[in-house]
Amino acid sequence: MSDPAAAALPVAIEPNHDEHLVAAVEEAGGRVVGLDEARVLVWIGIVDDFPELPDHIEWVALKTAGIEEYVSAGIIDDRRRWTNASGFYAENVAEHALALLLAGLRQINTAVLRHWDKQPIDTAVRSLHGSTVAIIGAGGIAASLIPRLTASGARVIAVNRSGRPVEGAALTVPSERLAEVWEQTDHVVLAAPATAETRHLINADSLAALPSHAWIVNVARGPLIDQTSLVTALREGGIAGAALDVTDPEPPAGDDPLWSMPNVIITPHVANPSSGLTRTMAPWLAKNIRHFVAGEELIAVVTAGSAY
């Protein structure tokens, strides 16, 4: 090209010029500019600070996988393209889900709190190998989690909207038949976005249908679980335990019974650590900028109506 400046895509990174993302933009042949000159906005701030968008913004790249706050604030419009980070953090979140499930089954939390209390721990340890795990929400997290689970000798039931078979799953069930899943599984991993449909999908009914040895892992969003019913089931032995990276509200109140239950593990929403987020996002942003410049389809396009 004779005029490289004209060829370089003007990209705004707001509200701050994160070093990993600046490097990604420049590596992909873009240049970082202010919002008033940009054709693309990479937004790494919080939803409350989201700016008024000039008409010349053709694409907004959000840093999060969950976009429910942007949807309910009416920010996602149909005048430009929007992408989220769906799939970018899947390896990390899948790894955390496996860590939580194994920590529960192998009684790591109990061992940390009750030093060498061998007899009760020995009899409570359960194996992932030979068990069945249902993954609710068959997106990127499920795709990363399934090979980890099958390598550990577990069988996977995937639940998605369409019921279209998910690779590596022994069985795929459409979400409209979710109620049939509980009795067929040993454990549950929640990996679906928060939508009206997924709200409280773990409730008194599903908890009653699950076996008493079941562990529930939530790496998705707190509102997928009716937490009052969960506490009751955990207290009465309806299920074996819950390992939660997300809660409702977040964090739970200081006097929430979850904090003192021996069969609960809570990590503070770190399945995809914020501290490493832009570093993980950077290669994906670079790839998407190349797609945009080339007029190709963007990765992780979302609309206000997007759900799992």
Binding site for a second copy (CB under 8 A): 91-92, 95-96, 98-100, 102-103, 105-109, 111-113, 115-118, 121-123, 125, 127-129, 147-148, 150-153, 251-252, 254, 259, 265-270, 273-276
Q: How far is the CB of 217 from a second copy (least distance, A)?
A: 12
Query: For the chain, how many residues are written?
Result: 308
Q: Which residue, 76 or 100, is less far from a second copy as judged by CB?
A: 100
Q: How far is the CB of 115 from a second copy (least distance, A)?
A: 6
Active-site annotation holder among 96, 148, 187, 221: 221
Cβ contacts of 24 within 8 Å, gap of 6 or more = 281, 282, 283, 285, 286, 289
Q: Which residue, 79 or 115, is less far from a second copy as judged by CB?
A: 115
Q: Provide the sign of the torsion angle of the four alpha carbons 97, 196, 45, 291, taken in this order.
A: positive
SS3 6: helix
Enter the tokens of residue 59.
Answer: 């694409």
What is the C-alpha to C-alpha distance for residues 219 and 243, in angstroms, rounded to an integer? 9
Q: Which residue, 2 or 119, is less far from a second copy as judged by CB?
A: 119
Is 269 annotated in the active site?
Answer: yes
Q: How far is the CB of 92 from a second copy (least distance, A)?
A: 6
Q: Which residue, 117 or 176, is less far from a second copy as judged by CB?
A: 117
Active-site annotation holder among 39, 69, 250, 279: 250
Cβ contacts of 3 within 8 Å, gap of 6 or more = none
Q: Which residue, 144 or 206, is less far from a second copy as judged by CB?
A: 144
- CA triplet 75, 78, 82: central angle to 5 degrees? 65
Q: How far is the CB of 98 from a second copy (least distance, A)?
A: 6
Cβ contacts of 266 within 8 Å, gap of 6 or more = 243, 244, 245, 247, 252, 258, 259
Q: How far is the CB of 243 from a second copy (least distance, A)?
A: 8
Is 213 annotated in the active site?
Answer: no
Enter the tokens of residue 18.
Answer: 């994160």
> Could you tell me which residues are beta bridge partners of residue 60?
41, 82
Is 68 annotated in the active site?
Answer: no
Active-site annotation holder among 39, 80, 81, 269: 269
Catalytic residue numbers? Answer: 221, 250, 269
